[in-house]
Chains A and B, each alone.
Chain A
C-alpha cells in the first residue's frame, strides 16, 4: 500500500469524547477514523450526519463536516445533503432506535432509493440515552425498564429490513473487531449506493454483554463466520466447519465428516444480484448457525444522486433554457403595448 495521505488523527476533532467508559462507541470511533484515513478522502470532502442517541453524538468527535440532527431523521437529512452535493462522501450514523424505530421510514426509503450513503447502524439492542428501554432490535421477552415483564413483540432484523427495501450492500461487524470493522467500513464507502453496516455493539451500562458470545477472538471463531469474497465459507477455531446448501436452506457441516471436503463448501459471492443466499447468510444466528460478519452483499446499481445529475444533464442537452427569464418568455405570453 502506498503511503497514506491522511492519518486517523486528521479525522479526530478536539472535543472530549463523552461516552461511558467501556462503551462500544469508543472503539468504533477509532476504527472509523482509521477507515477514513485508509480511504484517503479529505476531511473537508467528508460529512457525517447523525440523529439522536448515544452513538449520534459521534459527529462532534470528527474533524470533518458534521451535523448532529434530530431523532430519526439522519437518513433524510443525509439524503438531501448527498443529492445536493454528490461530490461529498456522506456517512450516516444511527443507533437501533434512531434508525429502525423513529427513523424506520427514512431508513428504508434511503435504501430503496439507493442514495450513495454509508449508513452505519450501531446496534446494541437497547435505548441508552433515555436510560434503558427496549429497542426494535431487542429480542422477544427482553426485560427492560419499559418491559418489566418482558416484551411481547418480535424484533426487526436489520438485514431483513435492508433486503426488504432492496438493499444492495449489507455488512456486519462487531465493535471489538478492529480489522473487520475497518474493512467493512472502507468497503461500504467504496460501494456506490446505499451501504448498510450493522455494528454489533455493547452497551456497558444497560445491556452489558449483549454480544458477549462474539466479543472474544475465540468466540468469533467458533460462533461467527468471516465472509470473504470468493472464499469458502469456513469457520471454527481450526476452520474445521463450513456451510453448505441443503434443500432450501443452509447447513453447518464438519470437514471430513460424512465425506465432506472443502470442495463441498459454499463460496461467498457478495456480488450476485439475487439476494436469496445473502439473506440466508445474514439471518443466521446461534446456537445452530454462526453469525455472519464481513460484507454479505455488495451489488452495484445506479445511485439516486447520480441519476438526478444524469437526468439534469440529459434534459439540458435538449433544452437550452437556463434562466427564469428564458423560461417565462418561452411560455404562453402576450404583449401589452
Chain B
C-alpha cells in the first residue's frame, strides 16, 4: 500500500521566507545555473524519520526554491525491488532514494544506482575539509552511497515487569535468558543482527562472528540459539511494530531502530528503557537511480548539495536521535526541536552508549544475504 503525499510550497509563503532564509557561507552547488526539473520524487521510510528529513532540509530547500515541488514515496523498504522493476520497464520514476548501506551496495552492484564522486555531490565542511574526508571511509561504503545518518539496532525493555523481581537487563544475552527475564520478545523477521546476537550469546567473540557465520555449523549454532526463544518471539517487519508492542505490553523486550525507541521513551513517555549493549550499527543514505534525465539529475544534485551539508545533517538530529554522517556535524548537534532536551546522550555514537557496540559487516551481508535469507525464512516457517 503506497502512501503518497504531495508537498507543495506555497508561493506566497516562500516569497516572505526567502529573505529570512539565510544562505550560509556555503559554496554554490556545482550545477547552479544549469537547467533543472521542477519536480522531484523522493523515496523514504515514512514516519518520524521522513519527518526529520522534511523539517531539516526539504522544507528549507523548498522555501529557497519556491518553483519546486516534491513528491514523497514511502517505499524505501522495497526500494531494491522497485528500482529493478523500474529499470526493467525502462521507466525511472524516482529521482532520489533513501536506502540502507547494504541495499545501496546491492543496487550499486546491479548497476541500478549511479556511481558518484562524493566531492562533487556533497559540499565541503565549513572549514574547507572535502566531503570525502568529512564523511570518512567508514561511511562511504559504496561508490553509489551518499551517507546521511548512522543509526543502530538495539533493544528496549519494559521497566515495570513484575515477574523480573526488580532485575533489569543490562547485556545482550539477557534477551536469551528466559528464566531471569520471562516474557515475549520481538525480533526482526530477517536474519540480520539476530544471527550475530545469537552467536555472540553462544560464546563467539564479536570479531569472529562473521567467520563462524560463514560455515554451515556456525549457522546451525545461531539457529539453535534462536530456537531457545523462538516460541516466545513475535517477529516484526516494520520499525513501528516493536514500539507498539512494547507500549501495549505485548512484549517485554524488543529490537528496533534506536530512533524509534527514543521517540517511545522521550516523546511518548512510555515505561520503557534502552539497552545499548551490543547495539548494531548501520548506515542510511541516498542513492541516485541510474538513467535519470539530465534536468532531473541536476535538480537532484542541487538538492543533495544543500541537504547533505554540515548544518543540515546536524539539524536533522534535532528531530530524531540518529547520528549525522559527517564528522563536522557532530559538534553542532543541539537540543531536540520540541522537547528541548540535549540530543547528544541519545545518539548511538555517544561514548557512553557505544562502549560495547557491534559493527555490522555490510560487505559480508551483501555476499551472504541471499543464502541466509532463504535459510532463515525456512527456519521461521517450520
Mutual binders A and B? no
- Residues of chain A having any CB pair with chain B under 8 Å: none
- Residues of chain B having any CB pair with chain A under 8 Å: none
